[in-house]
Amino acid sequence: MPRIRSCAPMDIDRWRTLDRRNAAPVFTARPAWSFAWAESFNSQEPWPIEVVFDDGRTTYVPLLSSRSRLGWRACSGLPWGEATMFLDDQNREASSELATQAAKAIANQCCHALELTLWPMGELTDLPLLGQRVSGEVSAIDLAQGFSAAIDGMNGKARRMAGQAERRGVTCAIASGDDAIATYYDMLESSAKRWGLAHPTISPELLRNVFKYAGPDAEIWFAYFEGKPIAGGAVLYGSQEMYFWSAAMYAEFGPLRPSNALNVALMRRACDRGMRWYNLSSSSGIAGVERFKDGLGARRIPYTTITLKQGAFAAFQKLRSIFTLKQPVKPAGTG
């Protein structure tokens, strides 16, 4: 088993160069995601960590880092359960052996707490026996056999609804520019209200910054009816995956089935760009959303979020939680 020679933050310019030469399989493991997140949330900074072994092999993992006022550093790969990967200097997936050693070293040497969600469609989806663990699942369509096979994988009802949308005059296309982002965010706000939320989970700053840094690897798509956008989505590209990051629709146009038409258009686009996977993300346990994705032919693929903490930090968190629980509750109406 090789020994670790060094474990340290990776040079950001080198990371960018590596990504331009050979993009990571998933968008959220690419620099654009980290830069957009850091610009949108001042508490975060890009923090890819590279581990070099004594046999010459290397692996790195894209992370975001934050520091508390007390100096604790927490690293995440990545916030909101987004996926990261352990990669080599060609942006190929690292072996389980190297990734496991690297994760231990990072948690011990580079931060006080490390949270990792590994890309569920990769070969390396877990680090056995490490840390605390929480499970979830994403829905994804395997495009290895091409667009026709993906359409054949849809159930009959979903295919019929996509056809009905087309016959009723629904069309789908990419939109670009600031106006497209603003229009899409208005659609997101409408959808959030329908779900009982005060605001969308994605902030307008994050949406704009993702498109600012991603360039052609982020797209907004709209389903149109009579020339007006009625449903849409934001998709992000790695070298192997189209990630349907965000979706929205004006509810009154639901009977036209624009979401069915849009997903068919996106599957075609993903195949045209040579993607292996069309990732429809997590459904958060919402039964209706899960059924819709199942109808598109998506498989439910499990993932694991792993958390490792240094002993001192874990003890600090435990003491803080005990102290918080012991605080007296202020009576209502006392100002």
The predicted model gives 250-256 an average pLDDT of: 96
DSSP class of 225: E
Closest among 319, 170, 172 to 256, alpha carbons compared: 170
Instruction: Return the minimum-mean-pLDDT range out of 86-90, 97-101, 258-262, 328-332.
Output: 328-332
CA dist., res. 274 & res. 70, Å (int): 47
Count of beta carbons in the 10 Å neighbourhood of residue 306 = 20
Closest among 248, 247, 243 to 281, alpha carbons compared: 243
DSSP class of 287: H
Long-range contacts at 152-159 (CB < 8 A, ≥ 24 apart): 153/297, 154/295, 154/296, 154/297, 155/294, 155/295, 155/297, 157/295, 158/260, 158/292, 158/295, 158/296, 158/297
Q: Where are the alpha helices (DSSP H) in 195-310?
A: 204-214, 258-272, 287-295
Provide the pLDDT for residue 281.
94
Count of beta carbons in the 10 Å neighbourhood of residue 205 = 12
Q: Is 237 helix (H, G, I), strand (E, B) or coil?
A: strand
Provide the pLDDT for residue 321.
67
Are the C-beta atoms of 222 and 173 separated by less than 8 Å? yes
Counted residue by residue, the chain has a size of: 335
CA dist., res. 60 & res. 29, Å (int): 10
Does residue 15 carry a pLDDT above 80? yes
Per-residue pLDDT band at 324 (split at 50, 70, 90): low
- Our CA dihedral for 132, 137, 143, 147, rounded to 10 degrees, sits at -160
Closest among 32, 42, 40, 28 to 12, alpha carbons compared: 32
**pLDDT tens-digit profile of 167-195?**
999 999 999 999 999 999 999 999 999 88
In the numeric block, the tokens 């900074």 are attached to: 45
Domains with residue ranges and CATH for the chain = 4-130+303-326 (3.40.630.30), 140-297 (3.40.630.30)
Per-residue pLDDT band at 323 (split at 50, 70, 90): low
**pLDDT tens-digit profile of 268-322?**
999 999 999 999 999 888 899 999 999 999 999 999 999 999 878 777 777 776 7
Cβ neighbours of residue 81 closer than 8 Å, sequence gap 6 or more: 117, 136, 282, 303, 305
Does residue 40 carry a pLDDT above 70? yes
- Our CA dihedral for 120, 122, 127, 131, rounded to 10 degrees, sits at -30
For 40, the token pair is 């949108």
Does residue 331 carry a pLDDT above 50? no
174 Ramachandran zone, left/alpha/beta (phi>0; psi -120 to 50): beta
Are the C-beta atoms of 171 and 222 separated by less than 8 Å? no
Provide the pLDDT for residue 335.
35
Per-residue pLDDT band at 204 (split at 50, 70, 90): very high
CA dist., res. 7 & res. 2, Å (int): 14
Does residue 326 carry a pLDDT above 70? no
**pLDDT tens-digit profile of 41-74?**
988 999 999 999 999 999 999 999 998 888 899 9
Q: Where are the alpha helices (DSSP H) in 22-155?
A: 31-40, 96-109, 147-152
Per-residue pLDDT band at 327 (split at 50, 70, 90): very low
Closest among 235, 245, 236 to 200, alpha carbons compared: 245
Does residue 16 carry a pLDDT above 70? yes
Q: Is 330 helix (H, G, I), strand (E, B) or coil?
A: coil
CA dist., res. 264 & res. 242, Å (int): 13
| Helices first, then strands: H and E counts in the chain | 10, 14
Between 291 and 331, whose confidence is greater? 291
Across the chain, what does the average pLDDT equal?
93
